[in-house]
Amino acid sequence: MNKIMYLEFERCIGCRACQAACRECGDHDAKERNYVEYVDFTESRQTYPMLCMQCKDPACARVCPANAIQITDEGVVLSAMEEKCIGCRNCTFGCPFGIPKFDFEENKMYKCDMCYDRSKHDIAPMCASVCPSDAIRFIDFDEMQQLRRRRSQMNLVEGKKPQEGNKWEYVPEFFGVYTD
């Protein structure tokens, strides 16, 4: 898999189809793992989607005392393994994006796994499949680069580009998983 989840916030229409679709993924227990937020509803209807960044060195996995959060060969950061998760919620505190969710009834963490049962076959995750405005896309690395070059001038933070060291300060625009 050499695909990128590419987000373009401006396109988001706030329909939450991505969330409805997330529940439809076979391995998701009908619980969504992604987020759609208003920037500030009083000012405008601008919304934006938030998904797991599938970090290369994920804070959630690092802080897990039980080693329950596995990373696949492709780089997908999975939900905590049921048999290992001790329900400490460290991952939810550790993630800088507030992504992992916690099921208090089952006492376990769950999160976006890029619909691993789909994406491992190169089939787009449900959120990216249905997003009506292409605010969420599942595209080839090359296509991402092409789009990135075109978008660079219209970046949300004008004249600046997020660096690896400070990208948390910026609203991220794309992320993905890479096989080395």
Partner 1 sequence: MSDFIAKEGIQNLHKPGEKLITTHCCYCGMQCGMHIRVNKSSGKVVGVEPRYDWPVTNGKMCPKGVTAYQTIDHQDRITKPLIKKNGEFVESSWKEALDLIEKNFKRLQEESGKDALSVFGGVSMTNEKCYLVGKYARVGLGTRYLDYNGRFCMSSAAGGFIQTFGVDRGSTLPWTELEHSDCFFLAGSNTAECHPTSIQWFWKAKDKGAKLIVADPRETPTARVADVHLDLKPGTDSALANGMLHLIIKEGYVDKEYVSKRCNNFEELKQNVDKFTPEYTSEITGVAVEKLIKAAHIYGMSPRSVVMFARGVEQQSKGVDNVRLYSSMALLRGQVGKFASGVATFTGQGNGQGGREHGQKSDLLPGYRKLTDPAAVEYISSIWGIDPSEMPKPGVSAYEMFGEIEKGNIRGMHVICSNPAVSAPNLEHIWNGFKKLDFLVVSDFFLSETASFADVVLPATTWAEDEGTTTNIEGRVIRIRKVTDPIGESKPDWEILSLIAERMGKGKHFLYNEAGEIFDEFRLATKGGKADYYGITWDRIDRENGVFWPCPAEDHPGTPTMFEESFYTEDGKANLGVVGWKEAGEVPTKDYPLFLTTGRVVFHYLSGNQTRRVDFLMEQCPEPFAEMHPALASRYQLEDGDMVKLKTPRSHMTVKTKITKAIRKDTVFVPYHWGKELAVNQLTSDCLDPISRMPEFKVCALQMEKLPAKKEGITRE
- Where do contacts with partner 1 occur on this chain (CB under 8 A)? 10-11, 13-17, 19-21, 23-24, 26, 41-47, 117-118, 121-124, 126, 129-134
Q: Which is nearer to partner 1, 19 or 70 (CB)?
A: 19
Question: CA torsion, points 93, 96, 97, 100, in degrees to nearest 10?
Answer: -30
Q: What are φ and ψ of residue 160, in 5° steps?
A: -125, 150
In the complex, minimum distance from the CB of residue 8 to partner 1, in angstroms, rounded to a whole number: 9
State which residue, 52 or 135, has the beta carbon closest to partner 1. 135
At its nearest, how many Å lie between partner 1 and the CB of residue 64?
A: 29
CB-nearer residue toward partner 1: 55 or 126: 126
Distances from the Cα of 43 to the Cα of 18, 38, 46, 47, 156, angstroms:
24, 10, 8, 11, 17
Nearer to partner 1, 61 or 116 (CB): 116
Inter-residue contact 117 to 25 (CB < 8 Å)? yes
Q: Closest separation between CB of residue 35 and partner 1, Å?
A: 13
Give the separation between CA 102 and CA 123, rounded to whole angstroms. 27
CB of 122: closest distance to partner 1 in angstroms? Answer: 7
| Least distance CB 55 / partner 1 (angstroms) | 26
Spell 37-70 as b/e; 16+ CB within 10 A means b: eeeeeeeeeebbbbbbbbbeebbbbebbeeebbe
CB closer to partner 1 out of 28 and 111: 28
